[in-house]
Amino acid sequence: MNTGSDGEAGGTIGGIETILDAAEAVILDLGVDKVTIDDIARAADISRATLYRRVGGREAIIGTILRRHAAPFVAETEAAVASEKSFPARIKAGMIHAIEALPRYPLLARTFGGGLSPYNLRIVRPVYQELVDASFQALFENARAAKVIPATLELAELSEWQMRNFLYLAADGPRGRDALERYIDQFILPVLMFPADNEGLARQTVLPDQPGPLPEELAALNTALDRAGAEIRALAALVASLRERAGS
């Protein structure tokens, strides 16, 4: 029954969670690209007016549902790459785990696996950036500080580029682990890393957790250079003084 009033079953008995559950079911059935606000209202057995009043419009509903499913997905991926110490290793392990774990999250697989229209990409992008950027911020900043990636690279640019690679791999169908690793090694990491890091990614720079003390030899060399600089400046001053006397 859909009476179009606030007394509808979905409006008062089930509440917001019931409405979102109904919306989730219809999105899983039709996909993000095809589902309409009318589909969601029918699934929740409420009017469009009540739907807007209770949980918002189409974009708000889809965004809320994606966050519910994406949060544990991102947390699982973070845990899977926590032991990796280098920037390229974390990028590679994270992307592989995300692609392989995606089928265990049916709504995300339905959303990302079929590709997205430009309009619906606008809905997905802020959810992706909100969740992934939060977990990626420290890794990104450490890599930039360690000069593993260009200092001019911005997190928003990297996030957009990563998202598009993920969407491509998700929509491209299942790949074996070896094929996925080859694709990442050949087409993703070389674009991201400095040229010196590209030949087989041999220089797997370890990201510092925090600045440590200088090695003893390096500290001694630094002190010697400071002393030599002071002596050179003193010698230059003496030469200038002698020239001044010779000219007078």
pLDDT tens digits, 168-192: 888 887 788 999 999 999 888 887 7
The Cβ of residue 182 has, within 10 Å, a number of other Cβ atoms equal to 12
- Assess contact for 25 and 107: CB atoms under 8 A: no
Q: What is the pLDDT of residues 44-58, one digit of tens each?
A: 999 999 999 999 999
133 in Cβ contact with 155 (< 8 Å)? yes
Straight-line distance from the first to the last Cα atom of the chain, in angstroms, rounded to the nearest whole number: 110
Predicted local distance difference test score (pLDDT) of residue 61: 95
Two tokens, residue 121: 């990409």
Distance CA 105, CA 124 (A): 16
Q: Which tokens belong to 114?
A: 């079929």
Give 229's pLDDT tier (boundaries 50, 70, 90). Answer: low
Say how far apart CA 191 and CA 207 lie, in whole Å.
19
Q: Give the Cα separation of 57 and 41 in Å (integer).
A: 10
Closest CA to 213 of 225, 224, 222: 222
- H-helix or E-strand containing 10? none
The C-alpha atoms of residue 179 and residue 222 are separated, in whole angstroms, by: 47
Half-sphere exposure of 205 (CA within 13 A, CB side): 18
Distance CA 75, CA 101 (A): 12
Does residue 216 surpass a pLDDT of 60? no
Contact 65, 28 (CB under 8 A): no
Residue 86's pLDDT is: 83
Query: With 80 as the cut, is the pLDDT of residue 196 above it?
Result: no
Taking the C-alpha atoms of residue 234 and residue 241, their distance in angstroms, rounded to an integer, is: 11
Three-class SS of 58-76: HHHHHHHHHHHHHHHHHHH
Distances in whole angstroms, Cα of residue 171 to Cα of each of 17, 77, 134: 30, 19, 24
Q: Picking from 23-27, 140-144, 172-176, 195-199, which range would have the lowest pLDDT averaged per residue?
A: 195-199
111-136 mean pLDDT: 82
